[in-house]
Amino acid sequence: MKRGLKVIYTTYANEIDEKIAAIFSENFNINPDVRDVREVTDKEIPEHNVLIGGFPCVSFSIVAQNPKRLGIKNELSGKLFFEMVRIIKEKQPKAFIAENVKDLLSANKGEAFRLIISEFEKAGYNDI
C-alpha cells in the first residue's frame, strides 16, 4: 500500500508578545496576529483541520511564585484555555492539541485539569 504525503501548513497564528511573534515569523514564515486572542473573532480565524495551542503556563507551573501558582483562579492567564474551547466549538477542527506544563495536572488540587478536560468534552471532543 502506497502512502500519500499531505502538505501541512499554518493558516493562522496568534501570539500576543511581539518579540516571540517575530521569532515565530522568522522560523515558520508566517506573521502571527499579535492581538490578545480574546479580541479575535471566530470569523477572523480561517477554517482549519487541526488546532494547536498552548495557553500560558505561568498560572500552572510549580515555579510560579510571583504571582503565586493560582491555576484557573488567575483571571488573566489561568482562563485562556477557554479561548481554545471557544475556537474549537465554532470551527470544529478534526483534532486539536492543547500544550501546557506537566504541573497542570496538580494545579488547584487537580480541579484545573478536570475543568479543562470537561470544557473540551462539552465542545464535542472526548477521545483523549
Q: Is 14 a catalytic residue?
A: no
Q: What's the gap between Cα 93 and its chain centre?
A: 13
The Cα–Cα gap between 79 and 59 comes to: 9
Provide the grid cell at 82: 477557554
Start-end of H helices in 31-122: 81-91, 111-122
Q: Which of 57, 58, 115, 117 is catalytic?
A: 57
- The three-point CA angle 18-10-77 to 5° equals 45
The Cα–Cα gap between 84 and 82 comes to: 5
The Cα–Cα gap between 33 and 16 comes to: 7
Residues taking part in catalysis? 57
